[in-house]
Amino acid sequence: MTHGSAEQIGPGIARLQTVARESGVDLFLSPDEAAKHGVERTDGDGDLDIVVVLGGDGTMLRALTRQLGSGIPVVGVNFGRVGFLSAMRRDQLEAGLGRVFSGEYEVVELPTIEVVAGDVRHVAVNDVVATSGALGRMVELEWAVGGEPLGRVPCDGVICSTPSGSTAYNLSNGGPVLMWGIDAMALTFVAPHSLHARPLVVPRGRDVLVWNRTTTVPVAVLADGHQVAEVAPGERVDVRLAEERSLLATLPEATFVSRYRQSFST
């Protein structure tokens, strides 16, 4: 799977094909990817061992979401900007993927988040956000964790993020970073009009319930940046850690700490 803009990849596909050929690996390209890059389709019916992503974190999210429940890990070469989920830089493609194709990689299992709003259920790899459905309008959210009420917060919204998503919107909003290996989600309010709304880390088994207590403004529910539902005044959103796990393949030295240092220390 590649970046949405073919120009962003440049000769990346040709480089990938060369590495695969030299490693004795069968490389399958879906019809849409082949058409995007103007190369011959190499889609097949064989069992896949790993999915290779040439792109940024957005492309990685699409690939991880598509592979949920398949048991197939995803490895990324960063052709985007931050590339926190990627295992290697674009200039490391040949050496890095050569190692991956020889089996020199590790798989990190990361928790995902399930959101239920009415009859809509969706699983997110990074985060679920409940935010104002009207631009520039504040909302009032009532919330509870594990069935215990925690009051109401006037705010722009709330972010529920996985460890992989804690370094995305949650981080930019001042929320806590969760290292990979922690089976929990971070809950962070967006621009709360309160001195008491602080980020909270919630373990597995404790559902987060959020009611829209705004009288005239709907709440939009976003999963990994895409709106999946709208919650009318008085209605509720349920968020919990899901059973599905996203499978992130990485080189042994591309640890969480090394990525964190490289991505955010400058």
Q: In this predicted structure, what is the pLDDT of residue 196?
A: 87
- CA gap 100, 94 in Å, rounded: 10
- CA gap 28, 56 in Å, rounded: 20
Task: From the candidates 32, 47, 49, 57, give the one annotated as an active-site residue.
Answer: 57
Tell me if 192 sits within 8 A of 175, measured CB to CB.
no
Q: In this predicted structure, what is the pLDDT of residue 10?
A: 87
87-to-15, 145, 227, 263 alpha-carbon distances in Å: 17, 35, 28, 12
57 is catalytic: yes
Local confidence pLDDT in tens for the 266 residues of the chain: 998 787 888 899 999 999 999 999 999 988 888 888 888 777 665 689 999 999 999 999 999 999 999 999 999 999 988 889 999 999 999 999 999 999 999 999 999 999 999 999 999 999 999 999 998 899 999 999 999 999 999 999 999 999 999 999 999 999 999 999 999 999 999 999 998 899 999 999 999 999 999 999 999 999 999 999 999 999 999 999 999 999 999 999 999 999 999 888 76
- The residue type found at 161 is S
If 0-12 CB within 10 Å is exposed, 13-18 middle and 19+ buried, where does residue 243 land? exposed
Q: In this predicted structure, what is the pLDDT of residue 32?
A: 86
Q: In this predicted structure, what is the pLDDT of residue 251?
A: 97
Domains and CATH numbers, the chain: 6-105+251-264 (3.40.50.10330), 112-243 (2.60.200.30)
- CA gap 221, 140 in Å, rounded: 14
- CA gap 136, 128 in Å, rounded: 20
* Distant-in-sequence, close-in-space partners of 144: CB < 8 Å, separation ≥ 6: 150, 208, 209
- CA gap 153, 165 in Å, rounded: 23
Q: In this predicted structure, what is the pLDDT of residue 45?
A: 58
Task: Compute the CA torsion angle 237, 71, 55, 102 (nearest 10 deg).
Answer: 160
Q: In this predicted structure, what is the pLDDT of residue 178?
A: 97
If 0-12 CB within 10 Å is exposed, 13-18 middle and 19+ buried, where does residue 18 land? middle
Q: In this predicted structure, what is the pLDDT of residue 35?
A: 84
- CA gap 238, 88 in Å, rounded: 36
Q: In this predicted structure, what is the pLDDT of residue 44?
A: 61
